[in-house]
Structure formats: structure tokens, C-alpha cells
Amino acid sequence: MGSRTLSLFLYNALLPFGLLYLGPAALIKLRQRGGSWADFGQRLGLWSQERIETLEALPKGQTLWVHAVSVGEVGVARKLILELVRQSPGAGIILTTTTPTAYRLAIELEQSHKGKVVALYSPLDLPWVARRVLRRFNPSQIVLVEAEVWPNMVSQANKRGIPVSLVNARLSSRSERRYRSFGSLVAPIFGMLNRVMVQEEQDMERWAAIGAQEDAITVTGSIKYDPQGSSPAQ
């Protein structure tokens, strides 16, 4: 069994227990913050007919999938998306988020860029969900904002030849130490990233230390303070 296969096997063996432990609290929080049960369906790759039609209207072969976890990341993603729209006016963008507050901001961006941006809740990183979502989205590229890397999604994208970029990447020394304690398990996952665009020089060494390919890491500064936003397509 190869190191990547072993990493995914252990991750998928433990993931259901994590979901059972954290799931009830996450559902309660979803409802408290204005989310609905239909929103939870999106996390399983189940969308309303209206959402499916909106997805199908995006340009074929020119759709980027941008994922931003919460409000702060959506702010970064917004700057990035506006720059992508400016650079590639014929492209479509799927923006996924995790929290209800971030989702509302994403919906506002969709409404101001109808036909170009579609906002959805992020899917759970289960193998069958990852396969289903990638078949439906069929993105030309996946862009993750700041730190969240999903093993199954990255692995399935890698199998399909879909490049995955991590932008505005940050990694504290504490997080580096935590990842390095599981070095042989996490390194194969981070090694699948095609581009890691970090904020500072010191981040290059940290990402390389946890498995990212050195020739994939570049310093682009912080998109948060960039008046336009660095594009992974650049």
C-alpha cells in the first residue's frame, strides 16, 4: 500500500466517527444561524433543480471552483473572483462556503454577477460526495483559500487531472509542528497540490516541511491587502 493510499484509508476510516461526533452540533448551529435542512442537502452533493439549472448555465470547460470557509476567507475570495472575472470574462465561478454567514455573503456576490458566479454550501469530504460533486461541477481548476485542504476532494481532482491551487496560504509555526507530528500521513496529501501561493517567505519553508512540493510554492503576498488580488491563473 502506497503512502498516499494509506493516508486516504486512515482518513476515511476515521472521518465517519468525526462526523458523528461533530454533526449534531453543526446541524444545530446551522439552524441557529439561519440555515435550512435543504442547505444540509448541498453538503451531500444534493441540490434543488433551480441550483442544478444555475450550475448547468455556467460556461462549459471554463468553470473554476473557489472554496472559502467563513466570512474572512469569503472576503479574500471576493477580491480574487472579481479579478478572475476581469481577466476572464467568459469564465464561470462556483463559490462554496461552510458557514451560513459566509454563504449569505457568497449569495450577494452571485446576485451581483448573475450568470458568472454560483454560491453553494461546501460538500462533505466523503469519497462518494467528492466524486459526485466533481462530476457535476466539472471544474477546470479548484482554488482553495488560505488553509483548508480536503484529502478526498484533492485526490479525486488529481485523478481527473484537475489542478488544485491553495491561495493566500498561511501556516503558523504551531500548525506546522502539529502537521509534522503526522508527517508521513499528511505529506502525501499536501504533495498533491499543484500550486501553493503563500503570503510570506517563511511560509515557503513551513509548507515544504509538511509535504508541499517546493517547486509548487510561490510567494504572492496577502490578497487581503492586494488592491486587485493575486490570481492562480497568472
C-alpha separations of 189 from 5, 156, 159, 203, 217 in Å? 10, 11, 13, 18, 15
Q: What angle do CA 46, 165, 3 make, to 5 degrees?
A: 85
**C-alpha span between 93 and 116 (Å, rounded):** 6
**C-alpha span between 76 and 69 (Å, rounded):** 11
Alpha helices in the chain (DSSP H): 3-32, 37-42, 49-56, 71-87, 100-112, 127-137, 151-159, 173-180, 183-190, 201-209
Pairing, β 217-219 against β 117-121: unpaired
Active site residue 73: yes
Q: Do residues 150 and 190 touch, judged by C-beta distance below 8 A?
A: no
Residue 162 CB partners (closer than 8 Å, separation 6+) = 134, 139, 140, 141, 142
Residue from 73, 83, 110, 146 carrying the catalytic annotation = 73
Pairing, β 117-121 against β 141-145: unpaired
Residues comprising the chain, all counted:
234
In the numeric block, which cell numbers belong to residue 102? 459566509
Q: Cite the active site residues.
A: 73
